[in-house]
Amino acid sequence: MEKAEYIYLDHNATTPVDPRVLEAMLPYFTEVYGNAASIDHEAGHMAMRAVEAAREQCARIIGAADPKEIVFTSGATESDNIALFGVAEKYADKGDHIITCVTEHKAVLDCCKRLEQLGKRVTFLPVDQYGLVDLDELRKAITPRTILISIMFANNEIGTIAPVKEIGAIAREYGVLFHTDAAQAVGHVPVDVEDMHIDLLSFSAHKTYGPKGIGGLYVRRRNPRVKVAPVIYGGGHELGLRSGTLNVPGIVGMGKAFEIAGQQMKADAEKYREWTRTMYEQLCEQLGDVALNGHPTQRLPHNLNVSIKGIESKSLVVQLKNIAISTGSACTSATVEPSHVIKALGFGEDRAHSAIRIGVGRSNYQAQLHEAIISIAQAVRRIQQLI
pLDDT at residue 236 is higher than 60 = yes
- pLDDT at residue 14 above 60? yes
Decide: 178 and 199 in contact? Cβ < 8 Å: yes
336 pLDDT band (50/70/90 cuts)?
low
Among residues of the chain, what percentage have pLDDT more than 90? 84
- Report the distance separating Cα 158 and Cα 174, nearest Å: 30
Phi and psi torsions of 306, nearest 5°: -135, 155
The rounded distance, in Å, linking the Cα atoms of 148 and 226 is: 11
pTM: 0.95
Question: In the predicted model, is pLDDT for residue 334 greater than 90?
Answer: no
Strands 146-150 vs 177-181: parallel, antiparallel or unpaired = parallel
Assign 239 a pLDDT band (cuts: 50, 70, 90): confident
The model's confidence at residue 40, banded by pLDDT at 50, 70 and 90, is confident
Strands (E), the chain: 7-8, 70-73, 97-101, 121-125, 146-150, 177-181, 200-204, 215-219, 290-292, 303-308, 323-324, 326-327, 329-331, 336-338, 355-359
33-47, 130-144, 309-323: the lowest-pLDDT one: 33-47
DSSP 347: S
Is residue 328 predicted with pLDDT exceeding 80? no
The string of pLDDT tens digits covering residues 81-140 is 999 999 999 999 999 999 999 999 999 999 999 999 999 999 999 999 999 999 999 999
Catalytic entry in 58, 101, 284, 331: 331
Pairwise CA distance, residues 60 & 258, whole Å: 9
Lowest mean pLDDT segment, chosen from 235-249, 316-330, 358-372? 316-330
Cα 179 to the center of its chain, rounded Å: 13
Q: Among this protein's residues, is 331 annotated catalytic?
A: yes
Which residues, at least 6 apart from 372, have a Cβ–Cβ distance to it below 8 Å?
7, 9, 279, 323, 358
What is the per-residue pLDDT across 146-175, written as a single tens digit (0 to 9) for each?
Answer: 999 999 999 999 999 999 999 999 999 999
Mean pLDDT across the stretch 253-277?
98
Find the mean pLDDT for residues 23-27.
98
- Examine the pLDDT at 45 and tell me if it is beyond 80: yes
Give the model's confidence band at 333: pLDDT under 50 very low, under 70 low, under 90 confident, else very high. very low
- Which residues are registered as beta bridge partners of 332? none
Whether 210 has a pLDDT exceeding 90, the answer reads yes
Calculated CA dihedral for residues 328, 180, 266, 128, nearest 10 degrees: 50
Q: State how beta strands 326-327 and 323-324 pair.
A: unpaired
Residue 73: which pLDDT band, with cuts at 50, 70 and 90? very high
**So what's the pLDDT on residue 135?**
98
Q: How confident is the model at residue 385 (pLDDT cuts 50, 70, 90)?
A: confident
pLDDT(224) > 60: yes
228-256 exposure pattern, b = at least 16 Cβ within 10 A, e = fewer: bebbbeeeebbeebbeeebbbbbbbbbbb
3-state secondary structure 41-56: CHHHHHHHHHHHHHHH
pLDDT at 36 over 90: no
Give 294's pLDDT tier (boundaries 50, 70, 90).
Answer: very high
The span from the CA of 129 to the CA of 131, in Å, is 6
Which carries the bigger pLDDT value, residue 275 or residue 47? Answer: 275
Q: Is residue 44 over pLDDT 90?
A: no
Mean pLDDT of all residues belonging to the chain: 94
